[in-house]
Chain A
Amino acid sequence: MESQEIDKISAVRKLQEWDAKAIGEVVEAKGETTIVIPSDHLFQVARYLASEPSLLFSFLSDICSVDRFTLEPRFEVNYHLLSFQLGVRLRLKVKLPGTDPVISSVFSIWPTADWHERENFDLFGIRFEGHPNLQRILMPDEWEGYPLRKDYPTEGYR
């Protein structure tokens, strides 16, 4: 457990040394490390984390968004990464504006992002640029609105 903590700190330090401008705030809370990334740097940071031999965050566990409606930037997209080699989990957080939220797709780095990104597009309306097949996945194709947004009523529009 302690060695995992040390590995986590060194992974964050490594990222800062690589390109300090590419990463924002680093938050430690409830035993989890969150790195806030400016949206235009996400792809480079993701590629570095996945390919750097001493880190190898090869497993993308999950992508999930949060809608902080009325706040701006409105959307937060969380990427939960795991490195089998270090036994460390990291969260990358990207904040996106309420009007036209767009972010580059990480599909080419982690193919598992395919359905995760489609799900976030479907339920939040976040566009992932460069995704090969960005369509609705859980809701019907002709559905209007994005159900998990906070301004979407729980019972749906009537």
Chain B
Amino acid sequence: MVLNMGPQHPSTHGVLRVVLELDGEIVRRADPVIGYLHTGIEKSCESKTYSQAITLTDRIDYLAPLSNNLCYCLAAERLIGLDVPKRAQYIRVLLTELTRITSHLVWLGTHAIDLGAMSVFLYSFREREEIMKIYEYVSGQRMMTSYFRIGGLALEPPPDWLERVRRVMESMPGHVDEYETLLTENRIWMGRTKGIGVLKIEDAIALGASGPMLRGSGLAYDNRKAFPYSSYDEFDFNIPTQTDGDCYARYKVRVAEIRESIKIVKQAMEKIPSEGPFRAEAPGIIPPSREEMKTSIEGLIYHFKIFTEGFAPPPGEVYQVIESPRGELGVFMASDGSPKPYRVHFRAPSFVNLQTLRKLCEGRLIADVVACIGTTDIVLGEVDR
């Protein structure tokens, strides 16, 4: 029997359709059908200036907007050849790690509710809200922050923001313990995830899986270590790995990653100097400060030029890779020397990781398909772009 699961189904996390070929309750083949949320973001980028396109990157992976901002800005900065001040780099690290925590919390809550554990969802969204308040305090927005700009940050963060981060981070490890007491040793949870959706390491590599999908299968690979960006090489953290490659292993990896991210945030709080520039000095590329724009003729000219026509990086192309909460996020950017990107392509980790679904579900029960979709941690906005 052929059964359509989705596109409207509560456990497909959006508009994913999975065509299941069934033999009784056994899944013989599971084919994901995607594209329901395709909005042509890559095409839209080509008709916007480099700075304007940042707002579109938020909307690709809407659970980790700052990771997308970061990857896009790093690509543009490499294209221009721009150095970002250390202070801005550390703030970027801090905020992207907070993003990793919020993204994993959403994953944990929704994955648990899919498998019948309701209370974890309520707890994890409670903590997520506290971090969202930090985003709002710093950037003015809870979700679509667009806070990272080419060359640095959008604005100077408010003076006492680190105090708020510290308060949230102090209680965070206790909350993670709380989730673990509900799940890690829970017999139902283990029954639903252990030995389910096994991805062998050679399959993971062949299918291009990255992030927790790859690390759950036993390969300790992380772009933050292998190709450090934004001063990640100055931070001390571990790469959590598990060898079983099943849903439980990926659960363990992600929970451990939350703890590692807390560690990185704490180190970043120590490193961030209270004074210093929050964006690079690059006339014609970075907008001048409000005061400069009002008082100097050059400032006024640059301000006008940047906001009317943008800036033109030299011709060339780059492929920038970062470790987003979901895996390897890549931005390919090609410039033809005009103020608009000639081509922007997003290597979306969800898109590639979703390809493993067929492998995960083969020969399993329908109920396990729900666990397998949850464990790949897809965001349909990113899959379809």
Residues of A within 8 A of B (CB): 29-32, 58-62, 64, 66-67, 78, 80, 84, 87, 89, 91, 110-112, 114-116, 123, 136-140, 147-148, 154
In the bound assembly, the distance between CA atoms of A111 and B40 in angstroms comes to: 25
Are the CB atoms of B208 and A138 closer together than 8 Å? no
* Residue of chain A at shortest CB distance from B33: A137
Q: Which residues of A contact B332 (CB under 8 A)?
A: 62, 64, 78, 80
Binds A, one of B149-157, B299-307, B343-351: B343-351
Q: Which residues of B contact A91 (CB under 8 A)?
A: 319
Are the CB atoms of A111 and B207 closer together than 8 Å? yes
In the bound assembly, the distance between CA atoms of A97 and B227 in angstroms comes to: 34
In the bound assembly, the distance between CA atoms of A60 and B206 in angstroms comes to: 8
In the bound assembly, the distance between CA atoms of A137 and B44 in angstroms comes to: 19
Residue count of chain B within 8 Å CB distance of chain A: 38
In the bound assembly, the distance between CA atoms of A78 and B81 in angstroms comes to: 22
Tell me, yes or no, whether B330 is within 8 Å of chain A by CB: yes
Given contacts A60-B208, A64-B347, contact A138 B352 (CB under 8 A): no
Are the CB atoms of A148 and B42 closer together than 8 Å? yes
Are the CB atoms of B330 and A138 closer together than 8 Å? no
Q: What are the interface flags for B195-219 relative to A under an 8 Å C-beta threshold, 1 for contact and 0 otherwise?
A: 0000000000111100000000001
Are the CB atoms of A137 and B219 closer together than 8 Å? no
B contact face: mostly helix, strand, loop, or mixed: mixed
Interface centre among A66, A111, A138, A148 (most CB of B within 10 A): A138
Given contacts A64-B345, A80-B319, contact A147 B43 (CB under 8 A): yes
Are the CB atoms of A58 and B205 closer together than 8 Å? yes
Q: List 24 A-B contacts (CB under 8 A).
A: A30-B78, A30-B318, A31-B78, A32-B318, A59-B208, A61-B208, A61-B330, A62-B330, A64-B347, A66-B317, A78-B317, A80-B330, A80-B347, A84-B219, A87-B226, A89-B227, A91-B319, A112-B355, A114-B355, A115-B355, A139-B38, A148-B43, A154-B43, A154-B47
